[in-house]
Amino acid sequence: MQRGMHVDRDVIVVGAGIAGLSVAIWARRLGLSVAVLEAGNKAGGELLALPMPLTDYPGVVATTGPALAAVLEQQARAIGAELWLERRVIRVAAASRTCVTDGGAVTGRALVLATGLSPRRLGVPGEDDLFRHGLVRRPSAEPGWFKGKRVAVIGGGDRAAENALMLARAGAGAVILVHRRPELRARERFERPLRAEQNVSLLLDSQVRSFTIRGSEATVDLMQAGAERQLPVDAVCTYIGNVPNTQLVQGQAALTDEGYLVTSAAGESSVPSVYGAGDICTPPESQSLIGSAGQAAAVAKRIALQLE
């Protein structure tokens, strides 16, 4: 597609995670033209952050998130879906189903938002400085960078434990898991191997108060069991939940109090011909890979029926 060119398709999908790619596959299977807009340089979304074997996706054995993402991208392209990577959507005009991107405006007969989630921030002093100094990193994206580093992993759920374990096995010098509760919330299959790693330590009942940057090092200022403590580290990884990426339609479509897109069982939003698929419209307790894929099929089928 030429930059600045206005292109119409039956379906425009924003986001190339498992939900967006699944919508594209089903839409093409149902005879619809579809273009997927993805801000990143790779398709896959959160799948790219799941390097461990997937054990709970029916019919898929011993593959990883990135491997599944590659298969889905291959399927989508093979069936004729257009994937436009590094195409950031700047704003959306929901009523006209138009996406204004950094390469021009694109309009669809139907618009599907599959923009997923972003990590929730702690909201404490110094957190923005961590990002500005490049001290917030993703283990799945650059595991080699962490070799020999001291890393604070903040959170106590499955994602925190899984990434702490990944860091330990990638050669991090020390991994300190900081959690505000006296016990972890992670399931046993994550917690048990984590506790067996010699370079992992747990700081429970610990509340992060602020961050201080000194050169290439950060200090995590904690309140642990009522006492102040300073923890010097080389990097911070935070896993305290997520927030839905619904900023593009804020003020245009109905959202829940938590910011999730309100949709019907078929993914229909409050704006005609605008749909949601995946985590953007699914509360945390119901989020799953297989749920996102199934929901995407329902969305594509409803669009096909409405466009007949």
**Residue showing tokens 């002093």:** 125
Query: What is the structure's pLDDT at 252?
Result: 98
Nearby residues of 147 by Cβ (< 8 Å), 6 or more positions away? 170, 171, 172, 173
Q: Is the pLDDT of residue 5 over 50?
A: no
Q: Which domain holds residue 60?
A: 7-118+242-307
Residues 16 and 113 in one domain: yes
Q: Chain-wide mean pLDDT for the chain?
A: 93
Residues 126 and 172 in one domain: yes
Residue 74 lies in a domain: yes
Total of domains in the chain: 2
Residues 251 and 225 in one domain: no
Residue 154 lies in a domain: yes
Q: How confident is the model at residue 7 (pLDDT cuts 50, 70, 90)?
A: low
Q: Angle formed by the axes of helices 289-307 and 18-29, to 10°? A: 40
Residue 184 lies in a domain: yes
Residue 1 lies in a domain: no
Query: 163-183, pLDDT tens digit by residue?
Result: 999 999 999 999 999 999 999
Residue 292 lies in a domain: yes
Nearby residues of 247 by Cβ (< 8 Å), 6 or more positions away? none
Residues 54 and 96 in one domain: yes
Residues 231 and 251 in one domain: no
**Residue showing tokens 């054990």:** 55
Residues 171 and 76 in one domain: no
Query: 63-110, pLDDT tens digit by residue?
Result: 899 999 999 999 999 999 999 999 999 999 999 999 999 989 999 999
Per the DSSP assignment, residues forming a β-bridge with 243 are 118
Residues 104 and 21 in one domain: yes
Q: What amino acid is encoded at 132 in this protein?
A: R
Residue 218 and residue 212 in contact, taking contact as beta carbons nearer than 8 Å: yes
Query: 23-41, pLDDT tens digit by residue?
Result: 999 999 999 999 999 999 9
Among 238, 256, 288, the domain boundary falls at: 238
Q: Residue 51 is encoded by which pair of tokens?
A: 């390097």
Residue 200 lies in a domain: yes
Q: How confident is the model at residue 302 (pLDDT cuts 50, 70, 90)?
A: very high
Provide the CATH number for the domain around residue 51: 3.50.50.60
**Residue showing tokens 């799953």:** 288
Residues 125 and 234 in one domain: yes
